A = this chain, B = another copy of it.
Amino acid sequence: VILVDGAERAVISALDRGLAYGDGVFRTLAIREGAPRQWRRQYAKLAADCEAIGITPPAELLLRGEVRQIAQAEQRCALKIIVTRGPSERGYRYDTKTPAVRIVLSSPYPQYPPSYYDCGVRVRRCRVRLAGQPALAGIKHLNRLENVLARAEWTDSDIAEGLLLDNGDCVIGGTMSNLFLGRSGTLVTPDLDRCGVAGVTRDRVIHAATARGIAITIGNIGWRDVLSADEAFLVNSLAGVWPICELEGTKLSTGPLVRSVQCWLDQDDDADLA
């Protein structure tokens, strides 16, 4: 199903700035048992990302209705919401009066091997570096060529994800996931002030850890920090939590923290649309 501004159609204007300049934002969320997961957090992020680049976000009620329509029809799927600045004349300048265009579309829920969740995933180190751009850091915008290039670096289907560093040698996260390390019973996750995407599941982990009195540090992480961590794991809205069991050929152990995090997120699997 594809809804463009609420209507069932599979196309957008060739003049849309989302196409011309990647001028927009998106989110990917899980629909399970006919309900979108973490709707409030997802909408809040989408709206904040829109505002960060000067797009007036679509009303929550409007978008929620479209998400519910697809959720009820599909029951279980990956839902993607794209919001663009809409069509415009040629040129980078935009008219603030043009309403945003919203695209809501469903894809089959990805069928990851259960071992990814249980035993962990093999991960590589990507060659492409993320560029530091504080004006866009953390935002899930449509300028994602770095992720496309990174994902094109490997075809081995045994490698589930690639880790990306910035040009200051800090590890920022996976091509489609956020990274956490367990270190002496505390959690560490990369600072996303210069690049990277701040996902909803990352927020949930930070929130859940804090609520349970587990210390969490947001800071710079080097490659050796990942290799020497007690445990390392990746999170996103569709996959949940994947322990990293092998990183560029080095075995990592799966410890108690990642199991706790998996458990916390299961307990907080918010399906409330309101």
Report Cα–Cα, A16/B141, bound state, in Å: 16
How many copies make up the complex? 2
Contact of A208 with B by CB under 8 A: no
Size class of the contact patch on chain A: 35 or more
Candidates B12, B21, B94, B147; contact of A12 at CB < 8 Å: B12
Partner of A128, one of B19, B78, B135: B135
B145 contacts A23, C-beta separation under 8 Å: yes
Asked if A201 is at the interface of the complex by the 8 Å CB criterion, the answer is no
CB neighbours (8 Å) of A171 from chain B are none
| Inter-chain contact A23/B93, CB cutoff 8 Å | no
A residues near B (Cβ < 8 Å) are: 2, 4, 9-23, 26, 28, 53-54, 78, 80, 82, 84-85, 89-94, 103, 105, 107, 110, 128-129, 131-133, 135-136, 141-152, 167, 175-176, 195
- 7 extra A-B contacts, CB within 8 A, seeds A10-B14, A141-B145: A9-B14, A19-B84, A20-B142, A21-B148, A91-B110, A92-B175, A131-B195
